[in-house]
Structure 1
């Protein structure tokens, strides 16, 4: 069951980082189905921006975990 609180575009945008980020548990990553759903709602520039934001967020999450810094604590 899906929540009624997100549009299809928002669900596609949320599925992309979820799939790209889950690597330790053996998840398949960004499948063609996930990519196609995102591409149906966003153009190439928007997809590039989403991918950059996913990568940047993952970068900071890894750094914060390495130095045991709680995200947002000093913001």
Structure 2
């Protein structure tokens, strides 16, 4: 709002991501998981509400933080969530996004979809950082 034009460009990136063929449910899970990792209550709350509105099941939303041990996710969703965790936790290891994580994602998504996933992860991390830095509170409008 303080920097004219930024919102339109950010929304343009998100619009392109949504057109790349990754299921919306997967994008919602990616957004939610990155937001959980980053401790962004605003995005966790908003992302959960958006996913519920789109028909996402509560059992999946309640267990996305423990997706690796929960039986509710497809192999493709698991690959997207593993990529999300790796790309969000860049500083946690010397090889932040191991080939095995990338290769598993590439086994389920084509290049365009992988680009969309990477952008969705990046945009979520962007929003998380803006919202946490400016202390946005879950449930409150900007």
Please report the TM-score for the alignment, with normalisation by the length of structure 2: 0.48
- Measured on the aligned residues, the alpha-carbon RMSD in Å equals 1.8
The answer to whether the Cα contact below 8 Å between 1:64 and 1:71 also exists between their aligned partners in 2 is no
Distance 1:62 1:45 in 2: 26
CA contact 2:90–2:97 (8 Å) conserved in 1: no
Residue deviations 1:22-65, cap 9 Å, x none?
134x2341100000000000000000000110010000000011
Unmatched segments (≥5 aa) in structure 1: none
1:69 correspondence with 2:142: no
**Which structure shows the bigger proportion of residues in helix conformation?**
2
Superposition misfits of 4+ residues, deviation over 2 angstroms:
70-73
- 1:57 aligns with 124
The question of whether the paired residues in 1 share the 8 Å contact of 2:83 and 2:102 is answered with yes
Q: TM-score, normalised by structure 1?
A: 0.86
1:47 aligned to which of 105, 114, 134: 114
